[in-house]
A and B are shown apart, each in its own frame.
Chain A
Amino acid sequence: MNFLSQYIYYIGAFGLFFIGLYIMLTKKNLIKVIIGLDILDTGVFLFLIAIGYTSGGTAPIFSKSVTETGKMVDPVPQALVLTGIVIGVSVLALALALAIRLYGHYGTLNLRKIKEQRW
């Protein structure tokens, strides 16, 4: 039980990562694949946040009540996640825009039927 409570965020992060990967590899619908990509990204972000998290920690600002670094969460992973989310959102937006254009050309989002560009 102790193990679970200690590593719960990591288990969740890699769980999300592999769920996303599974969706990306098996689903035929482009929108579902994009959702899979998003879930996979979320897993990575959760992992990054979990690295810097300390249980019961506060924001890393030195003040009268908080002077020890041990009680603060690590701010660097949070900055990384913020950047990561921005990048993830822009990739997602581009992917959806391309999906709309793809539907306009083929009339379907089934990736098994869209294979003009092959060999």
Chain B
Amino acid sequence: MVNPVLLIVVPLALAFAVPLFGLISKKIVKFLPVVALLFNLIVSVMLLPKVMEQPIHVFIGGFSPPFCINLVAGPIGILFSVLIALVGLLVSVYALGYIKEGAIEKYHILYLLLITGATGVVLTGDIFNLFVFFEILCISSYSLVAYLGNKAGIESAVKYLLQGALGSSLILLGIGLLYAKYGTLNMADLAGNIHSIKSFSNFLPLVLLVTGLGVEAAIFPLNAWLPDAHSSAPSSISAILSGIAIEVGLYAVVRVVFTIFGASSFLVFLLFLGVLTLLIGEMSAFSQNNIKRMFAYSSIGQIGLILFALSIATPDGVSAGFFQLISHTLAKALLFLAVGYMIYRTGSMDISSLEGMGKKMPYTSLAFTIGVLSLVGMPPFIGFPSKLMIIRAALLKQETLFTVLVVLVLIATVIEGAYFFRVIQAIYFRGEKSEKKREGAPLSALIPLFIFVGLIVVIGVYPKLVTNFLDSTASELLNRLDYIKGVIG
């Protein structure tokens, strides 16, 4: 059996080996992320069937919990790790051809550190360790947003950094309060001690942690940084930020609320926040003329939808939420990668500059269109079964509140469809027909794009491939006691 700790160690070690390999040859540096992520993907896929039956617990340093830092490779952790490794691998293949200028070595170091941080957050079972990995993720994404060094990039990185750093301080304060009261940092041990959030001394850390982690997850009042950061980063980084970073933030929020605090009375609040985030995100996206900004706002909306689904807190709802998370990750990473080369060709992010792209870059446009259709929720793509599951889970609750919220979710989907079809119309049906010069994206970009397309179509046609795994993720999140028993014994 492979030790899950390697999922964190290998990218971290290779990140610091990048400058050493750079001494040998500048050309091999860019293949290191591919190697690391290929390793991660293989290991996580190998672990996936095992952890579905029994979570793997790793106790670092040979102490027994709660005295050691432990890793919990449960269904959620490994599912996320597969997703991170898969998207990370495809994006790093794309970056082979896409990242040509600037400090290339530093790009790959930071990229590997970002992956390390994300994988660490989803695997760790210690709340302070979670904070440290979260900071690795955040600091590398601040610097990657500023990678191009242009006006927009620097300005949005400063914005992102100030809000993110404030959020991290709140997280640390929350962790401090928890330690002061319970004298432990182990998540399972904390969960075993916390029985209700009615007392103020439990409620305050919950609020601080949710607020701090919510900044990275871009839940509604805390999302001001996201449209700027995601639109001014290089497209490969936008794909990772939209596909991985905010989802990992959301994972941390959900883990804190469900597992550590077991705060079922707090979920109604998250339910409304999710729908509000969805509506605000989609409505802001509707009025955008900048294509990457439109996608960034759409990411905010999708995060709201996932939060809504997870907050339903039934097995159906949680699996639907994770399914929607997978579907959003695949579709949004595909869209950012596809649009990256379109922007590269035209030099502008305006939607009007995409006119006639259907002729100029036929393959990229096809991939782009499939991504958009999947995000809106058209069959036979992955977005359709995931959205259907969310609506079904909400209606199964059979409460008026949920019916009203489902109506709002459907309205948001209509808005989403409206602005995305405007883009498709621009790509295929506008612009001069005389232009015949075809200049497609290079192969290193088309391969990842079409792997994403393949996954979106295959899972869309045959959702059982993924839904089989989702039931055990739902039970991991909803059964606190099993989680506690698994770690403490």
The count of chain A contact residues (Cβ–Cβ below 8 Å) is: 33
Contact assessment for A24 and B162 in the assembled complex, using a CB-CB cutoff below 8 Å: yes
B181 and chain A: residue at smallest CB distance = A51
Residue in contact with A116 in the complex, picked from B151, B157, B161, B168, CB distance below 8 Å:
B151
Contact of B161 among A17, A80, A84, A94 (CB under 8 A): A94
A99 — which chain B residues lie within 8 A by C-beta? 158
Choice from B142, B146, B155 contacting A114 with Cβ under 8 Å:
B155
Cβ-neighbour of B172 out of A44, A76, A98, A101 (below 8 A) = A44
B471: Cβ under 8 A from any A Cβ: no
Contact indicator B176/A48 (Cβ below 8 Å)? yes
Whether, in the assembled complex, A87 has its beta carbon less than 8 Å from a beta carbon of chain B, the answer is: yes
Instruction: Confirm or deny: A37 has a beta carbon within 8 angstroms of a beta carbon on chain B.
Output: yes
Quote the shortest CB–CB distance from A84 to chain B (angstroms): 6
Q: How far, in angstroms, from A41 to B179 measured CA to CA in the complex?
A: 18
By the criterion CB–CB under 8 Å, are A117 and B173 in contact?
no
User: Chain B residues in contact with chain A, CB under 8 A?
Assistant: 128, 132, 135, 139, 142-143, 146, 149-152, 154-159, 161-162, 165-166, 168-169, 172-173, 175-176, 179-180, 185, 228, 232, 284
A91 within 8 A of partner (CB): yes
The reply to whether B155 and A116 contact each other, CB–CB distance below 8 Å, is: yes
Interface contact A95-B161, CB-CB below 8 Å: yes
> Within the assembled complex, what's the spacing in Å between the Cα atoms of A41 and B166?
9
Q: Are B176 and A95 in contact (CB under 8 A)?
A: no
Q: Within residues 75 to 119 of chain A, which ones have a CB less than 8 A from any CB in chain B?
A: 76-77, 80, 83-84, 87, 90-91, 94-95, 98-99, 101-102, 105-106, 114, 116-117, 119
A-side contacts of B146, CB under 8 Å: 98, 101
- Measured CA separation A58–B157 after assembly (Å): 43
A41 to B180, CA, bound (A): 18
Given A30-B158, A51-B179, A99-B158: 10 more A-B contacts, CB < 8 Å: A37-B169, A48-B172, A48-B179, A51-B180, A80-B128, A83-B132, A91-B165, A105-B150, A114-B155, A119-B284
Q: Shortest distance in angstroms between A117's beta carbon and chain B's nearest beta carbon?
A: 4
In the docked arrangement, what's the CA distance between A34 and B152, Å? 20
B residues in contact with A98, CB < 8 Å: 142, 146, 154, 157-158, 161
Nearest-neighbor residue (CB-CB) of B136 within chain A: A87
Q: Does A33 contact B (CB under 8 A)?
A: yes
Check: A40 CB closer than 8 A to any chain B CB. Answer: yes
Q: Inside 8 A of A87's CB, which chain B residues have their CB?
A: 132, 135, 139, 168
- List 8 contacting pairs A-B, 8 Å CB cutoff, sorted by A: A48-B172, A48-B179, A76-B179, A94-B139, A102-B154, A105-B150, A116-B151, A116-B152
Within 8 Å CB of A90, what residues of B? 139
**Cα-based distance from A102 to B152 in the complex (angstroms):** 10
Kindly state the separation between the CA atoms of A10 and B319 in the bound complex, as whole angstroms: 43
Given A114-B155, A117-B232, is A77 in contact with B166 using a C-beta cutoff of 8 Å? Answer: no
Known contacts A40-B169, A117-B152: does B158 contact A102 (CB below 8 Å)? yes
CB distance from A89 to the nearest CB of B (A): 11
Let me know if B162 and A94 touch, CB within 8 A: no
- Please tell me if the beta carbons of A95 and B154 are within 8 angstroms of each other in the complex: no
Shortest Cβ distance from B286 into chain A, in angstroms?
13
Residue of A24, A30, A77, A98 with highest tally of chain B CB at under 10 A: A98
**In the complex the two chains form, what is the Cα distance from A99 to B165 in whole Å?**
15
Q: Which of A34, A37, A44 has the most CB of B within 10 A?
A: A44
Closest A-chain residue to B173, C-beta based? A44
Distance in angstroms between the alpha carbons of A48 and B232 in the assembled complex: 36
CB–CB A37/B132 < 8 A: no
In the bound complex, residues from chain A placing their C-beta under 8 Å from that of B161 are: 91, 94-95, 98
Among A33, A94, A106, residue most surrounded by chain B Cβ atoms (within 10 Å): A94
Chain A residues positioned under 8 Å from B128 (CB to CB): 80, 83
Contact residues in A for B179 (Cβ distance below 8 Å): 48, 51, 76-77, 80
Q: Which residues of B contact A105 (CB under 8 A)?
A: 150-151, 154-155
Q: Which residue of A lies closest to B228 (CB)?
A: A117
By a CB distance below 8 angstroms, the chain A residues around B165 are: 37, 41, 91, 95
A73 to chain B, nearest CB (A): 14
Q: How far is the CA of A80 from the CA of B126 in the complex (A)?
A: 12
Interface string of A4-26 (1 = CB under 8 A from B): 00000000000001000100100
Q: How far is the CA of A119 from the CA of B288 in the complex (A)?
A: 8
Contact pick for A91, options B139, B149, B152, B173, CB 8 Å: B139
Which partner residue on chain A sits nearest B138 by CB separation? Answer: A91
From B139, B142, B149, B228, A101 is in contact (CB under 8 Å) with B149
